[in-house]
């Protein structure tokens, strides 16, 4: 089994010492991902839009690992405001409504005040 690192190309990954995702055998571990739009380096104010941006980044990392949302076995959501949960669930329900991975939701502070959600996933690639 080989270990492979997946990067978004962000210099912060090297500075902070992490990869967007790590593939280890048939498992894919995607780091916590916030809602930046990497094309414009902006963060939308709406938690639903932030979640969609985060999932777009996650989807790219999964694809590079040979996986997709259908391979996700666990999700973890870090949410700043409990009142934003319903907006988050609308997005997660669209993506995972039929897949239904194991799930954890944690309410906490995030690194920057504009960040309202951070999402990480674990997937198992099925051949």
The mean of the pLDDT values for the chain is: 94
- 34: helix, coil or strand? coil
Asked if residue 2 has pLDDT above 90, the reply is no
Q: Contacts by 9-12 with C-beta closer than 8 Å and gap 24+?
A: 10/38
- The token pair at 75 is 């999700």
Structure tokens, 64: 């590079």
pLDDT at 114 > cutoff 70: yes
* Prediction pTM value: 0.94
* Dist. CA 73–CA 125, nearest whole Å: 10
* pLDDT at residue number 93: 97
- Kindly state the average pLDDT of the residues 89-94: 97
Tens digit of each residue's pLDDT (9 = 90 or more) over 49-73: 999 999 999 999 999 999 999 999 9
CB count in 10 Å sphere of residue 126: 10
110-114: long-range contacts, CB 8 A cutoff, minimum separation 24: 110/34, 110/78, 110/80, 114/43, 114/45
pLDDT at 10 over 80: no
| Average pLDDT over every residue of 79-100 | 98
């Amino acid at each position: 089994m080989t270990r492979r690192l997946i990067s978004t190309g962000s210099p912060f990954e090297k500075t902070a010492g992490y990869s967007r995702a790590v593939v280890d055998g048939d498992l894919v571990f995607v780091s916590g991902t916030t809602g930046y739009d990497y094309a414009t380096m902006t963060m939308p104010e709406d938690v639903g839009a932030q979640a969609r941006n985060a999932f777009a980044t996650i989807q790219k990392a999964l694809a590079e690992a040979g996986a997709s949302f259908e391979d996700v076995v666990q999700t973890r959501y870090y949410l700043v405001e409990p009142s934003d949960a319903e907006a988050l669930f609308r997005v997660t329900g669209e993506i995972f409504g039929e897949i239904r991975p194991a799930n954890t939701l944690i309410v906490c502070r995030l690194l920057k005040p504009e960040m309202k959600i951070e999402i990480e996933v674990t997937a198992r690639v099925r051949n």
